[in-house]
Amino acid sequence: MRRTYKLSLPDGRALCLGERTLVMGILNVTPDSFADGGLHVDLGHAIDAGLAMVESGADIIDVGGESTRPGADEVPADEELRRVLPVIEGLARQVAVPLSIDTWKADVARAAVEAGAAIVNDISGLQFDPGLAGVVAWTRAALVLMHTRGRPAVMARHATYGDVVGEVAAELQARLGAAERAGISRDAIILDPGIGFAKGAEHSVALVARLDATPLRALGRPWLVGPSRKSFLRAAIGERPAEERDWATAAAVTAAILHGAHVVRVHRVAEMVQVARVADMIRAGRAG
């Protein structure tokens, strides 16, 4: 059985994980994201897209202002804030679901939580900005702690593993320790294996297929998995542009849920909510 968890949010609410799979909708307000760059750079369009995700069943909206695709350049904090704050403020006034800020920068995280975000989704595992851990601890935001090696511009060169499951588990354990030493409650942390980040296709496949392996399960935290439209899917379906990988995403989402994912992060919310509900039903049937 998938373990259940309850994460406290800054506004006093609790996020329940495990009873059913939660769907996190991706709302990129960037001109250059790999799958949907430029679609939501207009403020009104971005807010409408977030509202549509909630209407379609999203449990969390993840707002990002910097592309983290392989090879991407970093965006200054002031530009990232210009992109994300109006969207978070606008959505916070209109939706009840928790908002997440997809950033590794302390200044952006602090302002986003003050504007209404409840979760900090950090691709760096608290490695890129030494001030971020203190912000998360002070704001009492929930934290998504993702595995990666190196910054997006150079992470591909670090995709070398002998035992990807064991090494990712060990490195995430180290990041959990760093978070706790900074004053972040372990009970506030969700782990992310980092599909596509410093990993070849075979590594991403192994992590989805073995998410319930003992080294990862022993970390004792809920899992967020983000396979949506990622390049590793091309190993099965061939060379297709990102926007044509949604059927492949559905298969990866199903596999992730059957192997223990608590949250799936996706672009196409309405479709993946249906996928998640069916995968949950099959998972329940397998458990008897």
Domain for residue 129, yes or no?
A: yes
In whole angstroms, what is the distance from residue 222 CA to residue 68 CA? 23
| Per-residue pLDDT reduced to its tens digit, 170-186 | 999 999 999 999 999 99
| pLDDT more than 70, % of the chain | 96
Q: Kindly report, residue by residue over 10-62, the tens digit of the pLDDT.
A: 999 999 999 999 999 999 998 755 454 455 568 899 999 999 999 999 999 99
Look up 199 and say whether it is catalytic: no
In this structure, is residue 213 part of a structural domain?
yes
Beta bridge partners of 5: 17
Report yes or no on 229 lying in a domain: yes
158 has a pLDDT exceeding 50: yes
pLDDT at site 34: 47
Question: What pLDDT does residue 30 have?
Answer: 86
- What integer pLDDT is reported at residue 12 of this predicted model? 92
Q: What is the average pLDDT score of the chain?
A: 94
Counting the structural domains of the chain, the total is 1
Alpha-helix residue ranges (DSSP H) falling in the chain: 43-55, 77-92, 106-115, 132-139, 164-181, 201-209, 214-217, 234-237, 246-258, 269-286
**Domain around 26:** 14-286
From the candidates 175, 199, 265, 268, give the one annotated as an active-site residue. 265
Q: Is the pLDDT of residue 81 over 90?
A: yes
Q: Which of 230, 245, 268, 283 is catalytic?
A: 230
pLDDT digits (tens, 9 = 90+) for 215-235: 999 999 999 999 999 999 999
What's the pTM value of the predicted model, to 2 decimals?
0.95
In a domain, 198, yes or no: yes
Establish if 50 belongs to a structural domain. yes
pLDDT for 1:
73
Question: What is the spatial distance between Cα 206 and Cα 203, in angstroms, rounded to a whole number?
Answer: 5
pLDDT band for 95, please (50, 70, 90 cuts).
very high
Which residues make beta-bridge pairs with 8? 14
Query: Which CATH number covers residue 115?
Result: 3.20.20.20
Residue 2 CA to residue 284 CA, distance in Å, equals 10
In a domain, 114, yes or no: yes
230 is catalytic: yes
